[in-house]
Structure formats: structure tokens, C-alpha cells
Copies of this chain bind each other. A is one copy, B any other.
Amino acid sequence: MPDFGERLEAVFAQSGRLCVGIDPHSFLLEQWGLPDTAEGTREFGLRVVDAADGTVGILKPQVAFFERHGSAGFAALEDVLTAARAASMLVIGDAKRGDIGTSVEAYGQAWLTPGSPLEVDAVTLAAYQGVGSIAAPIALAQANGKGVFVLAATSNPEAAEVQTAVLSRGPFDGRTVAAGIIAEVDAINAEEPGLGSVGVVIGATIELIDYGISVGELLDTPILGPGFGEQGAAFADLSSIYGLAAKNVIVTVSRSVLRAGPAGIAAEIEKQAAELAEATA
């Protein structure tokens, strides 16, 4: 079984690096003429899968908008995940889960077990309780050819205080919280050839230097990059933002394509995929 890093590289080669978010906000459901219900989120998600199919290789459903509708919302998400996987797209569940011990292991099992109802190819995780706290889902991902993306330096301004705090103990003493996470991830990825299976989230709206992040530690690490489109970053700036690690960035767009509506979304995805291909040629 190929590992997640290999699978991601194959998708990059075949379909490029654009990733479309599936974010059934209530205001988007309304704009799309869909009810603000679990059924509305299902219909929205299935239409985004259809619109993306054949143009992009990666989808990222935002779990919160399904969870908002309780178990019925999760049933809708399961149908969307099934459709996305049937279309052979790589799916990143944007769940930002985190916990310790058997609890975080259970989250891993929920998302990363082949055949589980919420099976995805990778899930986003938060490591406020330490990278060590998410060892169980990382091990499960590696065993199953799946991936995880650990929050490191995120795109929202109110995150900077925590993420630039300076570690005062442990092997990365003196570095920032974000840089320490990246260094721990780099050490894990160094154990496998090529792109690793443990990714990080680094927003396209931040400056790596403010977080003391070294690009050299990102060369084997998949990077999930939000912040493009409405949040302000441009495809043309990929290299200036991520340096030599730009080649590893999954460029995620959500609202900037979703607001095109059900009639316009397929064309908007094609347009942005072409723009990204040109910017990274």
C-alpha cells in the first residue's frame, strides 16, 4: 500500500495542488437555494463533489458545518465522503480534533480506519496537548496509508500569541510553539522516503520568519495552506510565502469558489485550477 505522502505526490502530478473546501455555511446554503438542514448540507456537498470531479484532486470538507446538524449532519457528511472517494478524489477531513490517550486514538479510528463510516484520506489535528498526545492517530495513519495535518501557524491573527510563544523546555527549547511542532513533524517524516504522511497547517497569510520556521524543516512535509482567495493570499505569492517548501503546499480555496453558486462553481473551479497551474508552472 502506498503511503499518504506518495499518494499526495501522485495527485499533485496528475491533478495539481488545488483543494476545494466543502463549507456549507448557512449563508451559502441560502445563496445556493438550499435549506439550512442536514439535507441541505448533503445536497451542497454532493454538488461540490460533482463540480470538482475531473478538475481537482483534493477536497476538504469542514466538519463543523455538518456537526451543526447533529447525527443527521454526520449522515450527510458520510454520503459526501462516499461520493468523493468514489470519484477517486483525495479527501481531507477538516476536523481539528485533539485529545489524549484512548480518546485521541478513538478520533483517529473514526476518521482513518479503512471502512469506517467517516473514512477520509487525512484529517486535521490540533496539538495543544503536545505532538506526543497525537501519537496514536499518527501511528494509525501510517499503518493505513493515511495522513494527518497538525495545526502549526494558522492564518487567523488572534493565533499569533500562542503560536509564537517560546518553548522553555524539551528538545526545541528556545524555538516557537509553531516551529517546535514543525521540527517534531519533520523528525517523524524523515523516517520515510519522499513526502511524509504527517503534514502541517501553515496559513498563507503569515510570515514564516515571525514564527522562526525554517523552510529546510518543511521539505519532506505536506503543507495544508489556507488563506488564499477571500483571506487575501494570491497564488502568485506561493514561493515568496513558503520558499522552497512551496512545492509541498495544498492550496485550499473555499468561499472564493463556493460563492459562485451551483450554476457557476464548476467554471470557477476550472478557472482557479488553471490560474494555479500557471502560477506554479
Contacts and interface: CB of A to CB of B under 8 A. Distances in A.
Interface of A: 23, 25, 62, 64-65, 67-75, 77-78, 94, 96-104, 106-107, 109-110, 116-118, 126-133, 151, 154-170, 172, 176-177, 180
Nearest to A166: B166
A98 B107 CA distance: 14
B160 A67 contact: no
A154 to B, nearest CB: 5
B156 A130 contact: yes
Nearest to A77: B71
Contact of A110 (B23, B70, B162, B176): B70
A266 to B, nearest CB: 24
A72 B153 CA distance: 34
Contacts of A62: 99, 103, 106
Given A64-B103, A106-B64, A116-B70, A177 B165 contact: yes
Given A70-B78, A71-B117, A129-B158, 4 more contacts: A65-B106, A130-B162, A161-B180, A162-B180
B158 A168 contact: no
A129 B78 contact: no
